[in-house]
Structure 1
């Protein structure tokens, strides 16, 4: 980390249970090069470069633009494929619990298994519409056709992926906290915690697209998901 000739770094991370594993690669291997000194000593900060910024001489490498394999809309740079993968995988994880009879229901212990639960696909159009509003961080919910869930998490120090996992777990937990023994939707569920669960669990839903925005000015992380049903 401290070798002065290093001017490129790339890192990745993976959460494994309760552990967060991080690995970083540097474009200069100081251990192998074994320089006499890690850096040139000087009496004045940035003594040997004329265009330093905050005490550092600018590197010569150009950062690569984000590569987006999932979405290509106007607001694609506001999200990453890692966030999109988390959104899709967590939704399908919970739907799989329902399909296999392992989804907890307060009144039934476990909800009745779903016989024809569809695996969701990602909806880039919904994401783009949602992010066009959420990026403003003004507390406004995106106007999107069809079923959608919205949540403002009063935390802003989580990663987007961590926020997604926490919020989706909250939406799904309504089944465990309340239960739906007859497996039927009622109008009074609209706008309630159960209503958010229903949008995640409906077996005719084919696509989900979400936006996630950290709004430090409001001290919160907001997420909104839009759901598309088969016709």
Structure 2
């Protein structure tokens, strides 16, 4: 009896649909942007949670007692994306929410940056008040007037569990924008 050999096509499995690692219900084509945004947020939150976040007033910020690791939320990405794409072809140059509650917004004039690079620059800017100004023992964020500090507060708010971001390049304006949303 002859031995039957199977062809390579019998062993290949082609998935019918790739899934996102970060957001199972999202289109996987943009996953690298989601992964970068989620990683950056959780990296900085982890620095604060473990007491390794630099604070200009006391060397290292006091560790956060209870800080959740963020998960990616499609509806927050969709809200951010809707805002940055719904401007008659132009990118907005300021946040949708003027008081920045639950939203961070970043504009860079180097529109040739990749989405990952601009998200990294945005996170560095949003994080910078802690490193540059410091808070020391004053951890009350009740009456924040400074938009830089509001952006930091959005990133480090210990009750936040979900986030989503969108980025868009607008070559005619010469800018690239990032909009991140947070819940709660």
Residue 8 of structure 2 corresponds to which residue in structure 1?
none
Structure-2 residue corresponding to 1:133 = 83
More deviation in 153-162 or 133-142?
133-142
Q: Distance in 2 between matches of 1:72 and 1:167?
A: 25
Shift of 1:178: 1.2
CA distance in 2, matches of 1:71, 1:223: 22
1:26-45 equivalence runs, <5 A = none
2 CA distance for matches of 1:158 and 1:68? 26
Residue 93 of structure 1 is aligned with which of 31, 43, 48?
43
Task: Find 1:121's aligned residue among 49, 66, 71.
Answer: 71
1:125/1:143 CA distance change after superposition, 3 Å: farther
Q: What are the Cα deviations for residues 115-164 of structure 1, in whole angstroms up to 9, with x where unaligned? A: 11110011110111111221243426446995111111111111100110
Give the greater-gyration-radius structure (CA).
1
Aligned-residue Cα RMSD (Å) equals 2.3
- What corresponds to 2:3 in structure 1? none
Question: Is 1:227 matched up with 2:182?
Answer: yes
Q: Name the SS for the 1:80 alignment partner.
A: helix
Quote the Cα distance in structure 2 between the aligned partners of 1:95 and 1:156: 27
TM-score (structure 2 length as normaliser):
0.78
Choose between structure 1 and 2: higher strand proportion.
1
Q: Is the 8 A contact 2:111 2:176 kept in 1?
A: yes
C-alpha separation in 1, matches of 2:75 and 2:24: 8
- Report how far residue 68 of structure 1 moved: 5.0
**Are the aligned partners of 1:146 and 1:228 in contact in 2 as well (CA < 8 Å)?**
no
Q: Among residues 52, 66, 77, which one is paired with 1:102 in the alignment?
A: 52
Aligned-partner Cα distance in 2 for 1:219–1:107: 37
Which of the pair has the greater relative contact order for Cα pairs under 8 Å at 6+ separation? 2
1:183 corresponds to:
139
* Higher share in helix: 2
State yes or no: 1:208 paired with 2:163.
Answer: yes
Task: Specify every segment of 5 or more residues in structure 1 that has no aligned partner in the other structure, as ranges.
Answer: 1-65
Q: Is the 8 A contact 2:97 2:103 kept in 1?
A: no
Q: How many residues align?
A: 160
TM-score by length of 1: 0.63
Aligned to 1:198: 153
Gaps of 5+ in 2: 1-16
2: CA distance, partners of 1:165 / 1:158: 10
